[in-house]
Amino acid sequence: MKPLTIRMHAGDNVAIVANDGGLGPGTLLDDGLRLLDRVPQGHKVALVAIAKDAPVIRYNVPIGYAIKDIAAGAWVHERLLHMPAARSLDDLPMANNQPAALEPLEGYTFQGYRNADGSVGTRNILAITTTVQCVAGVVDFAVQRIKAELLPRFSNVDDVVGLEHAYGCGVAIDAPDAIIPIRTLRNISRNPNFGGEVMVVSLGCEKLQPERLLPPGSIELKSGEVLDVVCLQAEAHVGFMSMVDSILASAEKHLARLDARRRETVPASELLVGVQCGGSDAFSGVTANPAVGFCTDLLVRAGATVLFSETTEVRDAVDQMTARATTPEVAQAMAREMAWYDAYLGRGSADRSANTTPGNKAGGLSNIVEKAMGSIIKSGTVPISAVLSPGEKASTRGLVYAATPASDFICGTLQLAAGMNMHVFTTGRGTPYGLAPCPVIKVATRTDLATRWHDLMDVNAGRIADGQASIADVGWELFHLLLAVASGEKKTWAEHWKLHNALVLFNPAPIT
């Protein structure tokens, strides 16, 4: 077996081992370096001797400092490193390194559902909004009946989903940060994949009353209509089946309207794509994330919108982000979101280092700095044109920083609130993650994962490390797959198996 190592930059003093199963002690690399230790796949080997307190450099960035002398050929892992301090948010570069404009990419289209508000859906889904967790069981029961009894009559409707969440009562709903979960749920109800049809199931006594969740003017109602609310505590409901029948009767009206819609040819600029990574490993920043970054550039060149997020996973690249901002105001907004999140973590006596998981470390990521350098690559090279606070809806095109926690489920939920109609999710350790409101394309970082999980991964970016494909090859493949899935011509594996994770609202406000 030929030893394979990957060095990200000429200035790096470490490389990662690419071979399945890693490499054993005594292995001779092409440059004449002999390994002193067994180095697992994805983990780092010192290319030169690194003195105590000297930087360990990957991506041409210090990802840590050696706690003792490290010999050339030694395995470099998290226990040998001190993590650098977080970059100060003072004196950041502000919109001073904008890349040259890329040539527009014209002529690409997909078959989408045009909505009354001008947005475009990639799916035609009836969503049932809930105001409080208390109604979740009833809504789930009703959804099963809707799918069995009603949905077969409306063949143009893709699915029926209950927007279950853990919010709505038992919370300090007037606290300043309570606006985050409320506007998140409000904007998810307006997601383009739901076709403008809004129906709500309420308990009746909850703090998050329907009129507070969806006040007048927050959604576009049909002429003469009022907000469609089924209240389970209404006196008209006698017994459980009365509640369920009421939900079905309401759903039938919305299904009929959704069923009348048809796909039409729309430009690729109508895509609003969220990009995210989960179960990351050292290959994330080598294969999958660079390919997604290449695709991000293609999408923005085509006029589309791309959301990148995960605040703790890009915090150590903040200077790269603010430098790429289109204006100083956008750069300042990024710094402001980072500062807010630093303070949020500090209230819990935590910092960004709490992000990395045992799986990240087993996959070769020593700390959050190394993880961040691989994560930011998903954003490509184009300028960053806007910033969203958690739960806000996107209103501009281009590359947008949507500030979210890095938790897969919370990030996905907040990107749905921003208006995401397609989702790209990279993984190295593997996750069956999916979202009911939106197609999720999963990109494997390694061929081994893509082979073992052949019916869960949609794209194998591991071919880049294997030398079978370039970053551009996989980026274009992903771009074309996005258009095909958006058109309904193809389904993702998560859609095929109906693998859907729960929505998780981000609630930094107190719970009473």
Three-state SS for 300-359 is: HHCCCEEEECCHHHHHHHHHHHHHCECCHHHHHHHHHHHHHHHHHHHHCCCCHHHHCCHH
DSSP state of 47: S
Average pLDDT of the chain to the nearest whole number: 96
**Cβ neighbourhood burial of 50 (10 Å; 0-12, 13-18, 19+):** buried
Residue 177: closest CA among 347, 318, 308, 331: 347
Whether 223 has a pLDDT exceeding 80, the answer reads no
- The DSSP letter of residue 370 is H
CA 157, CA 247: separation in Å to the nearest integer?
17
- Residue 58: which H helix or E strand, with range? strand 55-58
Helix (H) or strand (E) holding 479, with range, is: helix 471-486
Residue 194's identity, in one-letter code, is F
The C-alpha atoms of residue 77 and residue 362 are separated, in whole angstroms, by 10
Residue 203: pLDDT band by 50, 70, 90 thresholds? very high
Give the pLDDT score at 342.
96
Find all residues with CB under 8 Å of 428, minimum gap 6, and list them: 42, 279, 280, 281, 282, 283, 284, 288, 363, 444, 445, 446, 449
Q: What is the mean pLDDT of residues 246-266?
A: 98
Comparing CA positions, the residue from 214, 172, 220 lying closest to residue 192 is 220
Percentage of the residues of the chain whose pLDDT score is greater than 90: 96
The tokens of 90 are what? 């003072």
* pLDDT interval class at 100 (50, 70, 90): confident
- Sheet of 14-17, strands arranged across: 5-6, 14-17, 44-46, 75-76
Q: What pLDDT is stored for residue 221 in this prediction?
A: 73
Reported as a single tens digit per residue, the pLDDT across 294-346 is: 999 999 999 999 999 999 999 999 999 999 999 999 999 999 999 999 999 99
- One-letter amino acid of 105: L
pLDDT band at 98 (very low <50, low <70, confident <90, very high): confident
- pLDDT(418) > 90: yes
> Above 90 in pLDDT, residue 410?
yes
Which pLDDT does position 232 carry in this prediction? 98
Report the pLDDT value the prediction gives residue 224, as an integer from 0 to 100: 67
Q: Is there a contact between 417 and 188 (Cβ–Cβ < 8 Å)?
A: yes
Q: Do 396 and 385 contact (CB within 8 A), yes or no?
A: yes
Interval 471-490: pLDDT, tens: 999 999 999 999 999 999 99
Q: How confident is the model at residue 198 (pLDDT cuts 50, 70, 90)?
A: very high
Q: What is the average per-residue pLDDT within 176-200? A: 97
How big, in percent rounded to 5, are the helix, strand and coil portions of the chain?
35, 20, 45
Which residue intervals of 199-305 are DSSP H helices?
210-213, 240-259, 289-301
Rounded Cα–Cα distance for residues 55 and 16 (Å): 16
Element (H, E) at 478: helix 471-486
CA distances from 313 to 106, 142, 354, 356, 406 (A): 32, 39, 11, 9, 7
* pLDDT above 90 for 109: yes
